Structure 1
């Protein structure tokens, strides 16, 4: 086990200093710089300030009208959080390149715990890719249909709030149709995301400064969510970040707290509408209301809906407003209530309290965990790789669970 690579060893330098090789001409390098700038949400002027050039020079570079010298390439790579190899179009390991970008992004440290966890997972995947060849993360045929629909039919930014909500709902309905979910509640949401959309999902108690983090692009797709929130809150975060990924958000790192997810922004409104309709389909809500309260929204039916769909009160109120089942004034009054007291008054319809219970769950991406366990048993990687995924100590208990167990189940 002592010969296993560590995360730091896996992150080697990929910064060549030679002139661009044949085929990496000004047009290709400029295009990659432009793409990386868009992912970082930088303007031409702000990128120019970082590398010591004017806005007009950045424009010429991105249009292929000005060559980037070998001396300038490392400056661009550092400013954009990529490697020189990436800018030159040289083959590199996608997870390693993404890890470099993630580690080099110093714009915000509010999401420090989530960012560190994502970086851990990217490093682990790079180690496994070199040693154990894990199963690649790819969407199913049904999941690919959803991707195609999102990119082909919803590629235009919404022009107003109504269009944003309509697009989000259409994407959720298409997702449910393609994956065969009908109007039923979702069970294992992380598993569904991984299985159908080729996105690794990790859950960890990461504090409450950031709800979720989506890292995607260049063959990498990862969602990390903090479980220091209620289960319902976590599920909405996962669906929200999935929406960003499906819709091809140009940012390669999307870190969001609740104030970001519910910002007065058309893109966020569209993704929120997707998350709401994915988790709480209209037919399912109306069916429950007809059965429980003759179609009316009551405190008891609110608690029952939270339990049935595994969502928070805030997410449910948002969806009921979108469906015009409650008014804005009613939603404001409901938000002012203590959700714990509300659930306690109607425990008969909320036996698990799924909407408000905080479990602080740790969940590693199933694809990586399975590969790591198999590789550890074959002595291809050290047990520390499994420990990192599970956020456990590399001790005798883990050794027994991984190396001595015949069931293949980690407890």
Structure 2
């Protein structure tokens, strides 16, 4: 039974701590009698009790409830082995997924819409396009226009409730998606190529909405030739292309555009995509010929920004893509659990990278004097 497992694991933690049961109880804010009753099964540990025990001992609430570690294969890697970008991204996904599991136990569940599976009689590319159309409609109903959103991480969270983490990684890494019973998340690396990062977020969203994997899906390099030929990758790429560069929008643009390097550059900058991606998309839609495609796809993002006169906005975008980002919905849920008295401050502090004393001081009732005070 879950209660027996929880009691056994709390006893294990007490033994490993070297503290007496009374001292351990006091450190987690419990009277010794309540601790004894909880360990014997007469009284149930409350969610706050478990949060405090997990906080004190450096374990998860899920583990206290009897769950095993999420991915033993990753946990089993030796600490002396070099940490690859994929390893670091997976560990971050595990950490965030565990936070979501703990929050779900406390009553703060992630709200992610369920999408119908792609129609299997369609080709992978057509499945991706079909899914993107439905995703676009879903987002529009929530007043989010995905193809116009430079900051796609924020837009995806607002429209779909998916946690999006931008994480600084040791070497090149595109992204991964993770889904389980309690969490749905995307992890991408910080990047000096903002258009590629944006496409990766859309690509990973395609995996999540298509239900490609229950668990972990890693795309270390979405441009790898062999990787791209997998049906699930073809679907995710088609999804991202339609989501960020809707066919109807491009056809409307092409109808009143006289193509030149300047006109093409302005469109690429306005749509927040790389010149190469836009050139291939226009060619695949038969809106430009192969000669123009070859000419335009050779343009760099810097070339496009210069031709479009948008170096300032490109610089801001580059800075934004190079900066780590914490999922805002997860921050909100973690902070709310603390404000409601259902969790300690440590999970919130760990998530945003502050020590608990600094965070406690920042959110305390103590107010600093205003320089405008008389």
Same fold, TM exceeding 0.5?
A: yes
Residue 393 in 1 paired to residue 367 in 2? no
Give yes or no for contact 1:154–1:247 (8 Å, CA) kept in 2: no
What are the superposed Cα offsets for residues 338-368 of structure 1, whole Å, 9 maximum, x if unpaired?
33133123215x6511796242233222332
TM-score for the superposition, normalised by structure 2: 0.68
Question: Secondary structure of 1:283's partner?
Answer: helix
Partner of 1:133: 107
Residue 247 in 1 paired to residue 247 in 2? no
What is the CA-CA distance between 1:281 and the residue it aligns to?
A: 1.1
Distance in structure 1 (CA, Å) of the matches to 2:317 and 2:298: 15
CA 1:393 to 1:8, structure 2 compared with 1: closer, same or farther past 3 Å?
Answer: same
Residue 164 in 1 paired to residue 124 in 2? yes
What is the CA-CA distance between 1:327 and the residue it aligns to?
A: 4.2
2:299 is aligned, of 321, 337, 343, to: 337
CA 1:338 to 1:310, structure 2 compared with 1: closer, same or farther past 3 Å?
Answer: closer
Question: Secondary structure of 2:165's partner?
Answer: strand
Question: Secondary structure of 2:318's partner?
Answer: coil
Residue 287 in 1 paired to residue 252 in 2? yes
TM-score for the superposition, normalised by structure 1: 0.62
Partner of 2:324: 362
What are the superposed Cα offsets for residues 38-89 of structure 1, whole Å, 9 maximum, x if unpaired?
xxxxxxxxxxxxxxxxxxxxxxxxxxxxxxxxxxxxxxxxxxxxxxxxxxxx
1:193 is aligned, of 144, 156, 180, to: 156
Which structure has the larger Rg over C-alpha atoms?
Answer: 2
Q: Give unmatched runs, 5+ long, in structure 2.
A: 1-26, 29-51, 368-374
* Pairs within 5 Å for 1:144-293: 144=114, 147-148=115-116, 151=117, 153-156=118-121, 163-180=123-140, 185-186=148-149, 189-250=152-213, 252-256=215-219, 257-260=221-224, 263-290=228-255
* Pairs within 5 Å for 1:21-32: none
* Pairs within 5 Å for 1:51-90: none
* Pairs within 5 Å for 1:108-127: 109-127=84-102
Residue 315 in 1 paired to residue 277 in 2? yes
Distance in structure 1 (CA, Å) of the matches to 2:201 and 2:146: 19
What is the CA-CA distance between 1:212 and the residue it aligns to?
A: 0.7
Q: Give unmatched runs, 5+ long, in structure 1.
A: 15-90, 407-411
What is the CA-CA distance between 1:197 and the residue it aligns to?
A: 3.1
Question: Secondary structure of 2:228's partner?
Answer: coil
CA 1:288 to 1:155, structure 2 compared with 1: closer, same or farther past 3 Å?
Answer: same
What are the superposed Cα offsets for residues 311-354 of structure 1, whole Å, 9 maximum, x if unpaired?
23333233223222334554444443333133123215x65117
Question: Secondary structure of 1:223's partner?
Answer: strand
What is the CA-CA distance between 1:259 and the residue it aligns to?
A: 2.7
Question: Secondary structure of 1:222's partner?
Answer: strand
CA 1:238 to 1:356, structure 2 compared with 1: closer, same or farther past 3 Å?
Answer: same
What is the CA-CA distance between 1:370 and the residue it aligns to?
A: 1.2
What is the CA-CA distance between 1:238 and the residue it aligns to?
A: 1.1
Distance in structure 1 (CA, Å) of the matches to 2:258 and 2:224: 31
Partner of 1:68: none
CA 1:354 to 1:260, structure 2 compared with 1: closer, same or farther past 3 Å?
Answer: farther
Partner of 1:49: none
Give yes or no for contact 2:104–2:110 (8 Å, CA) kept in 1: no
Output the aligned Cα RMSD.
Answer: 3.6
Question: Secondary structure of 1:371's partner?
Answer: helix
2:308 is aligned, of 340, 346, 363, to: 346
Partner of 1:9: 59
Distance in structure 1 (CA, Å) of the matches to 2:90 and 2:356: 26
Aligned residue pair count? 306
Give yes or no for contact 1:232–1:355 (8 Å, CA) kept in 2: no
